[in-house]
């Protein structure tokens, strides 16, 4: 559990801080909270992954095999919710907690007590969500997008539990985001000007603004679902003058910025790792900052590309198509800059770099299938098929999740002071890389051939591909156990001691600190060259 136990106990001795479980419950230290967030995210990743295994086991063969259709729907729903709100977002928040203060030369986050709260309400949110699976009538079965009237008229009685858990997750993210913004605005070390900030800090700053802009809209949407279902309002009920299509507009007004919330910090991570192992400065730093900002701004005007088939007028379809395609320009700038950073660099292929390279290639594949989905007329074919599933798993698993793994491997030696087990890490990388492509690549083909998503059964012609996909899924799931074993070993402080810089080409304030990073850092601000 503790990456920094040894030092903290030493420190705690001087400060009279609580030890044992109380240390974690009452901690206001950004490193402790970062660790809590990361472990929580990893546990949720395994829980959500177990649900994916149920889904893939059911889809291994055509016909209903293992679970009832309603339980299958609960699995797809809760898998999505857990991976988005329980795994990817908390993992990024954990990385921000650990790294933002060290990267800008601040002693801690700006609001340490709120930081403690924003983490500790999170387990309750997920206990509520997971417990709803065990109540009579079952848990949420309407997909993570909870479209009305699936979530209102046709949902199970446990929908209130779902609503409250989303409220708590939202509150946690908003508090985390406020903390990041205030820290970055007010606590940068003297001389750490805006355009000297590491890109991870920049991307997180922009992500935090996206979070405080759209998480409240999500809270509003779930509140409307709650009152529609239980208190007789008609926001989304045509009988009372409402409109179910309005739900989709409100949801995706949140939902599209949300997908950038899950990828912008990944861009930041890759922009830290690629220069280190290329032994060059990042190519086009300023353009990276502006590209991130333009992606964030554009994310507010493209939401309706998720709902091309609801019957919008042609002008709206064209507008959302063009605006969506426009996003590929700043994203292309980023991919170009990463490649240009590597150009003529002295490349080495340590584990974080392997994950970063896999990210660049596989995220780009996901981006290209996104560009295909943006084309309105063809989206009518792709809509609600496995092609969409393939697309967002390429950007979220081989994108966001691979970037998180890259980040963990990159900074883990800084956190523990010891080099992780490189052999295990390479096994983890290669097993994951191969299995993830066996898992998600064939989904493109069955999607184009017309297999609908979120259905527990399928036509016979999809049987072979689904078998391969399930095998890939099981292999990818098992590969993560290698990662778990590696992390447990790392936290038990096994391995060789590392230098403060850890990686030969690493630059930045965090690499000037000793390894492992002491419990309190930069109590006097560093001098920025």
Partner 1 sequence: MTMQNTPNHSKMVLKLVAIVIGMFGFGFALVPLYDVFCDITGINGKTSNTASVYQSVEIDESRWVTVEFITRTNTGMPWQFEAKTKRIRVRPGEMNEVAFYVRNPLNRPIVGQAVPSVSPGTAAIYLNKTECFCFNHQPLNGKEEALMPMKFYVDPQLPKDITYFTVQYTLYDVTSSAQEVASNQG
Give the residue numbers annotated as catalytic, written as ranges: 79, 108, 144, 172-173, 256, 258, 260, 271, 305-306, 331, 334, 453
CB–CB of 273/357 below 8 Å?
no
What is the three-state SS of 249-287?
HHHHHHHHHHHHHCCHHHHHHHHHHHHHHHCCCCCCHHH
Q: Is 16 exposed, middle or buried (0-12, 13-18, 19+ CB in 10 A)?
A: exposed
Place of tokens 């391969």: 468
Residues 127-157, buried b or exposed e (16+ Cβ, 10 A)? ebbbebbeeeebbbbbbbbbbbbbbbeebbe
Length of the chain: 529
| Smallest separation (angstroms) from partner 1 to the CB of 222 | 10
Q: How far is the CB of 486 from partner 1 (least distance, A)?
A: 37
Whose Cβ is closer to partner 1: residue 197's or residue 436's? 197
Piece of 36-44, 137-145, 246-254, 370-378 that binds partner 1 (CB under 8 A): 246-254
Six token digits for residue 432: 């994951």
Q: Which lies closer to partner 1 via its Cβ, residue 102 or residue 110?
A: 110
Nearer to partner 1, 88 or 174 (CB): 174
Which residue, 63 or 240, is less far from partner 1 as judged by CB?
240
Smallest distance, partner 1 to C-beta of residue 312, A: 7
Cα(158)–Cα(198) distance, rounded to whole angstroms? 44
Binding mask 78-97 for partner 1 (x = CB under 8 A): --------------------
Question: Following CA atoms 373, 376, 381, 385 in sequence, which dihedral angle do they give, to the nearest 10 degrees?
Answer: 40
**Coil, strand, or helix at residue 112?**
helix
The one segment of 266-274, 277-285, 306-314, 349-357 that binds partner 1 by CB under 8 A: 306-314
Q: How far is the CB of 228 from partner 1 (least distance, A)?
A: 11
Restricted to residues 115-144, the positions that interact with partner 1 (CB under 8 A) are: none
Does residue 519 interact with partner 1 by CB under 8 A? no
Please report whether residue 246 would count as binding partner 1 according to CB under 8 A. yes
Which residues face 514 on adjacent strands? none
Angle between helices 463-491 and 402-416 (to 10 degrees): 10
Cβ nearer to partner 1, comparing 187 with 469: 187
Residue among 114 and 475 whose Cβ is closer to partner 1: 114
Considering beta carbons, is residue 149 or 352 the nearer one to partner 1? 149
DSSP output for 148-203: TTTTTTT--TTHHHHHHHHHHHHHHHHHHHHHHHHHHHH-PPTT--GGGS-HHHHH
For residue 246, the minimal CB distance to partner 1 (Å) is 5
Shortest distance, CB of residue 297 to partner 1, whole angstroms?
Answer: 15
Is residue 261 a contact partner of residue 212, using CB atoms and an 8 Å limit?
no
Residue 251 token pair: 């949801």
Which residue in 52, 125, 129, 189 binds partner 1 (CB under 8 A)?
Answer: 189
187 makes contact with partner 1 (CB under 8 A): yes
The 146-185 site mask, x for binding partner 1 (CB under 8 A), equals: -------x--------------------x---x--xx--x
Q: Is 375 in the site for partner 1 (CB under 8 A)?
A: no
Shortest spacing between CB 372 and partner 1, in angstroms = 26
Taking alpha carbons only, the member of 102, 104, 106, 47 closest to residue 78 is: 47
Task: Number of residues interacting with partner 1: please give it, by CB under 8 A.
Answer: 45
CA-based end-to-end distance of the chain: 36
Q: Mark the segment that binds partner 1 (CB under 8 A) among 89-97, 103-111, 140-148, 352-360.
A: 103-111
Among residues 380 and 468, whose Cβ is nearest to partner 1? 380
CA–CA–CA angle 80, 41, 501 (5° rounding): 135
List the structure tokens of 351.
Answer: 């584990």
Supply the minimum distance, in Å, between the C-beta of residue 250 and partner 1: 5
Task: Write out the binding residues for partner 1, residues 249-278 only, by CB under 8 A.
Answer: 249-250, 253-254
Q: Which of 245, 424, 463, 471 binds partner 1 (CB under 8 A)?
A: 245
Q: Extract the tokens encoding 468.
A: 């391969």
Site string for partner 1, 451-490 (x = CB under 8 A): ----------------------------------------
Dihedral over Cα of 511, 514, 519, 522: its sign: negative
> Considering the rule CB under 8 A, would residue 113 count as an interface residue with partner 1?
no
Phi, psi of 385 (to 5 degrees): -110, 175
Q: How far is CA 82 from CA 49, 125, 126, 213, in A?
A: 9, 10, 8, 21
Which of 16, 21, 134, 193 binds partner 1 (CB under 8 A)? It is 193
Binders of partner 1 in range 201-240 (CB under 8 A): 212-221, 224, 232, 235, 238-240
Question: Using the 8-state DSSP alphabet, how is residue 288 labeled?
Answer: H
Q: Given the rule CB under 8 A, which residues bind partner 1?
A: 106, 110-111, 153, 174, 178, 181-182, 185-193, 212-221, 224, 232, 235, 238-240, 243, 245-246, 249-250, 253-254, 311-313, 316, 525
């Amino acid at each position: 559990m503790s990456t920094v136990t040894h030092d903290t106990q030493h420190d705690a001795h001087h400060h009279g801080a609580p030890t044992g479980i109380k240390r974690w419950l009452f901690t206001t230290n950004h490193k402790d909270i970062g660790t809590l967030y990361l472990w929580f995210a990893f546990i949720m990743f395994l829980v959500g992954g177990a649900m994916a295994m149920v889904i893939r086991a059911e889809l291994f063969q055509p016909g209903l095999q293992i679970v009832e259709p309603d339980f299958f729907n609960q699995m797809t729903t809760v898998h999505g919710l857990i991976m988005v709100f329980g795994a990817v977002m908390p993992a990024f928040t954990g990385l921000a907690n650990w790294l933002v203060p060290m990267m800008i030369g601040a002693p801690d986050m700006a609001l340490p007590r709120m930081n403690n709260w924003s983490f500790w309400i999170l387990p309750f949110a997920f206990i509520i969500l997971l417990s709803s699976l065990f109540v009579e009538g079952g848990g949420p079965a309407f997909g993570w997008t909870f479209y009305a009237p699936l979530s209102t008229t046709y949902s199970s009685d446990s929908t209130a539990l779902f609503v409250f858990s989303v409220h708590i997750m939202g509150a946690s993210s908003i508090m985390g985001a406020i903390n990041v913004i205030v820290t970055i605005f007010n606590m940068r070390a003297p001389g750490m000007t805006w355009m000297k900030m590491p890109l991870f800090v920049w991307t997180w700053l922009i992500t935090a603004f996206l979070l405080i802009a759209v998480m409240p809209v999500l809270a509003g949407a779930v509140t409307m679902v709650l009152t529609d279902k239980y208190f007789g309002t008609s926001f989304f009920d045509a009988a009372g003058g409402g409109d179910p299509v309005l739900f989709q507009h409100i949801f995706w007004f949140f939902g599209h910025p949300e997908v950038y919330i899950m990828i912008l910090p990944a861009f930041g991570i890759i922009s830290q790792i690629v220069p280190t192992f290329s032994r060059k400065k990042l190519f086009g730093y300023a353009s990276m900052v502006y590209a991130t900002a333009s992606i964030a701004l554009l994310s507010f005007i493209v939401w309706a590309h998720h709902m091309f088939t609801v019957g919008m007028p042609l002008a709206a379809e064209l507008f959302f198509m063009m605006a969506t395609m426009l996003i590929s320009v700043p994203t292309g700038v980023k991919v170009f800059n990463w490649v240009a950073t590597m150009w003529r660099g002295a490349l080495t292929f340590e584990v974080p770099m392997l994950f970063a390279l896999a990210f660049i290639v596989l995220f780009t594949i996901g981006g290209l299938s996104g560009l295909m989905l943006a084309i309105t007329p063809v989206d009518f074919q792709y809509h609600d098929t496995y092609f969409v599933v393939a697309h967002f798993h390429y950007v979220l698993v081989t994108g966001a999740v691979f970037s998180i793994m890259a980040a963990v491997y990159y900074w883990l030696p800084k956190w523990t002071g010891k080099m992780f087990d490189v052999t295990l890490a390479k096994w983890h990388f290669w097993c994951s890389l191969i299995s993830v492509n066996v898992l998600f690549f064939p989904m493109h083909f069955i999607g184009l051939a017309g297999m609908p998503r979120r259905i527990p059964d399928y036509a016979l012609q999809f049987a072979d591909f689904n078998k391969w996909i399930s095998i890939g899924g099981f292999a990818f799931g098992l590969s993560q156990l290698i990662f778990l074993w590696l992390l447990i070993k790392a936290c038990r402080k096994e391995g060789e001691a590392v230098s403060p810089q850890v990686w030969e080409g690493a630059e930045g304030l965090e690499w000037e600190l000793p390894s492992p990073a002491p419990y309190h850092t930069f109590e006097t601000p560093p001098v920025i060259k």
